[in-house]
Amino acid sequence: MAFFYESYDAAVIGAGHAGCEAALALARLGMKTIVFTVAMDSIAMMPCNPNIGGTSKGHLVRELDALGGEMGRNIDKTFIQSRMLNESKGPAVHSLRAQADKREYSQAMRKVLENTDNLTLKQAEITEIITNKSYDPKEWEGTEVNAAGEEHVIGVKTLSGGIYPCRCAVLCTGVYLKSRCIYGETEQFTGPNGLPSANHLTESLIKLGIEIFRFKTGTPARVDKRTIDFSKMEEQPGDAKIVPFSFENDPEKLQKDQVSCWLTYTNEETHRIIRENIDRSPLFNKSIKGTGPRYCPSIEDKVIRFADKERHQIFIEPEGNYTNEMYLSGMSSSMPEDVQIRMYRTLPGLEHAHIVRNAYAIEYDCINPMQLKASLEFKRIGGFFSAGQANGSSGYEEAAVQGIIAGINAAMKLKSKEPLVLKRSDAYIGVLIDDLVTKETNEPYRMMTSRAEYRLLLRQDNADLRLSKYGHDVGLLSDERYEKVVRKQEMIRQETERLASIHVGASKRINDFLTAHNSTPLNSGISLADLLRRSELKYSDIHEIDPDNIDIPYDVSEQVEINLKYEGYIKRQNAQVEQFKKLESKRIPDDIDYSDISSLRLEATQKLSKIRPESVGQAARISGVSPADISVLLVYLEQKKNADRTHN
């Protein structure tokens, strides 16, 4: 028997990393919001790796923070180790990574949700998305439902029969939809960490005409720290200087004693055990049907695919200050328990390791993200958005950034405002979402720096300069915080001009300085800006010969140095962005009939009709649409534009 609860502006289904960010964005933008979770313990839970950030993922978290999201602030409160990765390489690939105290991270995020105005938490399983075309008149008797017009969300229904009317809904189900955990011959129909799965919503999505995929991911075993011999491993300490994820945090206030991670390796004996038991792996005996992530394979997958490699890195990472559980990063598996024990104990330092939790694979339902607009709203169902692993992506960070975009755009929809759509030239977030909604996703999508064409412009150090205006414009970033960014931009400009205006001559003092820094001595005068363009000199070095010798904040000097050193490359990428924007600005009418374009190839017609890109730029990125097809499309749009102009 159905019964009604009070109505909400928005319902968020799931309280993982995507759901938390979506719910907070909606509530902070004034929308009365309810977020549903199958278990309160699953709020912002880290069922897999106990860290935030990493290569390319650190970029996403800092971009999320610049928009006004919570993940960066939360990890800054709860990290136990912090490291900047890839520092030996160029600034485009520097990525911040922090080890989290898993329990504290989840509890801190839950506390934020529970104390946010306009936000209600509810433990319940959602079984149905109700639209104006799918509602049951008997259940809604006595209520007013306008069934006319395009299909749009009007409510959600729980397993107990409760109906929550709402004007928008955001799907953030993560890996819980019909989830199945497997290792060897053992299978459990649960979500991660033994939490309840969501077994009924898939049927409702299918009835709404939504295409469903079956994907798979996995996690390694956790072992008891007391049974590990760390003397046989390489210590991986945190950085002496902490760099915050959130631009609003002061690095000095984040300094703390950090825990170490440890590095060990697999060996030939590990690989022998895996090869001899490969027929018992659900991945290889086909008992797992879902598609797994190519860029985060299980250890058995690595051993078979990379048979020439003698060893693989395994990082031993603490799960938090509250526990002795250690995470074996790089060694996820779905092997039977007896095989897991034997293969893990072949690693140096793990000879006597006691497994606290077995490794397992998890299969789950997710949607085909090509059914979404760039705003993350379903093309066919108004007011229905989707974010995170429900969209076929992989990772906490990828989920969180989709969550904030879906939350923002659900709020914009409710306010009758234009959605926020970040371009590929704006942010890694733009690359991620564009890839999901434009390109065919045949496996869980993972963000990588190589996916971003303009990665020199989209650095993690300048995310605040790139995206704070968007966060402020939609209403998530305060005036005070945005004004701080504006002041920073002005300081960068002023310092760059100042360095260009100050010249030093070929004096003995200057040349001695240059020789001491392995830099070529001068024959004539040069500006400090030109000296800083030399790869071997840093801003702090130039400070020694700067006659004004002024002190500026580190984040300002960092931008000045990067901008000067990479000026030529940055100009070249900016020129590429301008060309990119020309195609992005050419909008494609919603009602276009691609079958009317006679010169389009059949494959292009089919792909364009299915995906329905919003711009010519997006159309050009669709697999199966050639440059020749784009030329035909441009000619057609121009002819149609001229015909419409003549007709009017």
Looking at 148-157, 335-344, 475-484, 575-584, which range is the least confident one?
Answer: 575-584
pLDDT digits (tens, 9 = 90+) for 209-255: 999 999 999 999 999 999 999 999 999 999 999 999 999 999 999 99
CA-to-CA dists, residue 266 to 271, 273, 347, angstroms: 7, 11, 6
Sequence-ordered list of residues with C-beta below 8 angstroms from that of 86, at least 6 positions apart, any chain: 55, 93, 94, 95
* Rg, the chain, Cα only: 27
Residue for token pair 């799931």: 14
Residue-wise DSSP of 41-59: GGTT--SS-SEEE-TTHHH
Q: Give me the pLDDT at residue 648, please.
A: 60
Domain 222-361: give its CATH code.
2.40.30.260
Question: Per-residue pLDDT for 321 more than 80?
Answer: yes
CATH 2.40.30.260-classified regions of the chain: 222-361
pLDDT digits (tens, 9 = 90+) for 295-312: 678 999 999 999 999 999
Check if the beta carbon of residue 1 is closer than 8 Å to that of residue 160: no
Q: Give me the pLDDT at residue 86, please.
A: 93
Average pLDDT over residues 62-82: 98
Q: Give me the pLDDT at residue 144, please.
A: 86
Burial (CB < 10 A; 0-12, 13-18, 19+), residue 395, is buried
pLDDT digits (tens, 9 = 90+) for 419-459: 999 999 999 999 999 999 998 888 899 999 999 999 999 99
Question: Per-residue pLDDT for 292 more than 80?
Answer: no
pLDDT digits (tens, 9 = 90+) for 107-148: 999 999 999 999 999 999 999 999 999 999 999 988 888 888
Domain 586-647: give its CATH code.
1.10.150.570
Burial (CB < 10 A; 0-12, 13-18, 19+), residue 558, is middle
Tokens of 462: 């300048």
Residue for token pair 């979770």: 37
Three-state DSSP class for residue 83: strand
Average pLDDT over residues 332-355: 97
CATH 1.10.150.570-classified regions of the chain: 586-647
What's the half-sphere exposure (Cβ side, CA atoms, 13 Å) at 628? 7
CATH 1.10.10.1800-classified regions of the chain: 488-573
Angle at 400 between CA 398 and CA 405, to 5 degrees: 100
CATH class in words for 488-573: mainly alpha
Give the strand pairing for 186-188 and 261-265. unpaired
Question: Per-residue pLDDT for 627 more than 90?
Answer: no
pLDDT digits (tens, 9 = 90+) for 6-64: 999 999 999 999 999 999 999 999 999 999 999 999 999 999 999 999 999 999 999 99
Instruction: Report pTM.
Output: 0.94
